[in-house]
Amino acid sequence: MMSRFVNGSRLFNGDWESGNLHAQMPGGAGFFLNWAATDEEARTIEVETGGSHPMGPADGFMPEVAEGSVTAATLAAGATISEANGAMDFIANATGSIYAQSWTPNPQKLVAGEQTPEGLLDSAQADYESQVEK
């Protein structure tokens, strides 16, 4: 994906490669913001295709969803969390290495029968705390 973007044949939609883009294309790449966060059609697409709460302002437009659906429950839970604690970012962004060192291996261990659900959460919390201290 990155090589296709760098050679001009594909679009790219994330900032997680900013450092690489700067190194490979200094001054040749840029980012635009707010379309998915503020445009009503974009927010509708995000909710209808992904079932997730679109980023952006808490009071931003929200399309109608089927009452009793999983999407409705997810959106309601997201609103409750946002009101209480502020919106949570993508969990892999909690620390620089939490995704690779905890959120990737622990679910794999869970599926392999080498980890319990409680152990997974305890391990992720301990990993987070140790990484934040660094």
The residue written with tokens 């291996």 in the block is: 105
Number of domain units in the chain: 3
Q: What single letter denotes the amino acid at residue 23?
A: A
Supply the pLDDT for residue 60. Answer: 83
Give 5's contacts (C-beta < 8 A, 6+ positions apart): 11, 12, 21, 29
Pair (76, 114) in one structural domain: no
Pair (60, 43) in one structural domain: yes
> pLDDT 10s digit of each residue in the chain, 134 long?
778 888 887 776 667 788 888 888 888 887 767 777 788 998 898 899 888 777 777 788 889 999 999 999 988 887 777 665 555 556 777 777 888 889 889 999 999 999 999 999 999 999 989 988 86
Pair (100, 123) in one structural domain: yes
Pair (81, 95) in one structural domain: no
What is the model's pTM? 0.49
Pair (2, 39) in one structural domain: no
Q: 128: how many CB neighbours lie within 10 A of its CB?
A: 17
Pair (39, 73) in one structural domain: yes
Supply the pLDDT for residue 97. Answer: 84
Pair (81, 49) in one structural domain: yes
State which H helix or E strand residue 37 sits in: helix 35-38
CB-side neighbour CA atoms (13 Å) of 40: 3
Pair (14, 44) in one structural domain: no
What whole-number distance in Å separates Cα of residue 5 and Cα of residue 21? 9
Supply the pLDDT for residue 87. Answer: 55
- Among 35, 74, 66, 25, smallest CA distance to 43 is for 35
Pair (39, 79) in one structural domain: yes
Q: Which residues of 21-54 are buried (b: 16+ CB within 10 A; e: fewer)?
A: beeeeeeeeeeeeeeeeebeebbeebbeeeeebb
- Segments forming the whole domain that contains residue 1: 1-31
Pair (129, 110) in one structural domain: yes
